[in-house]
Amino acid sequence: MSTEPVTSERGLALAADAGSHAECDAEVDAEIDVTRLRVALARLSRRLRRHELAGLTPTQLAALSTIGKTGPMRLGDLAAAEGIAPSTLTRLVTALEDIGYVRRCADPSDARASTLTITPHGQEALERIRTENTLMLTASLELLTPDQRSALAAALPVIEQLAEAQGAR
């Protein structure tokens, strides 16, 4: 079995051990170990989602955050935005209502539909979670060397672009 990394036509290393073989050639600026990047981003994301303050699952937190960011929205629009089935959404919304984080209101444009709005209690929970995550991430960044922090700062625009990329499947 070969230990050489498998690379895409754009120089993206697809093998798990590709980081140990990263080399530049004339056509590729830098070889990126996609597996290593995916694992690192997933681990960081999980760390940022560990919180005890609000007692929410990651899916509940994502839905609450979406409602908080976009304002009142229909259940179907939230299901589409979060990529979850309507039956799952119904249970999720019921849990958020029971906690007092969202309120279901009649849709003024369609009496058969309802919209979800975030409550002040839900907004406070989001703010607490964001503060907790910011403090945790700040503490982690303080463990880095100045050169590592500079490298991360330089990479931030690219990370933001990756986070916003759509349809790259």
Name 106's bridge partners: 114
Asked if pLDDT for residue 152 goes beyond 50, the answer is: yes
pLDDT of residue 54: 64
Whether residue 12 sits in one domain with residue 64? no
DSSP secondary structure string for all residues of 54-94: S---HHHHHHHHHHHHH-SEEHHHHHHHHT--HHHHHHHHH
pLDDT of residue 127: 93
Domain count, the chain: 2
> What stretch of H or E contains 45?
helix 34-49
* CATH number, residue 90: 1.10.10.10
Whether residue 32 sits in one domain with residue 79? no
Asked if pLDDT for residue 75 goes beyond 80, the answer is: yes
Asked if pLDDT for residue 56 goes beyond 60, the answer is: yes
Residue 21 and residue 4 in contact, taking contact as beta carbons nearer than 8 Å: yes
Burial of residue 142 (CB within 10 Å: 0-12, 13-18, 19+) is: exposed
Q: Which domain holds residue 121?
A: 58-125
Assess if residue 86 is contained within a domain.
yes
pLDDT of residue 15: 45
Assess if residue 1 is contained within a domain.
yes
Q: What is the pTM of this model?
A: 0.67
Name 26's bridge partners: none
Q: What is the pLDDT of residues 93-148, one digit of tens each?
A: 999 999 999 999 988 888 788 899 999 999 999 999 889 889 989 999 999 999 99
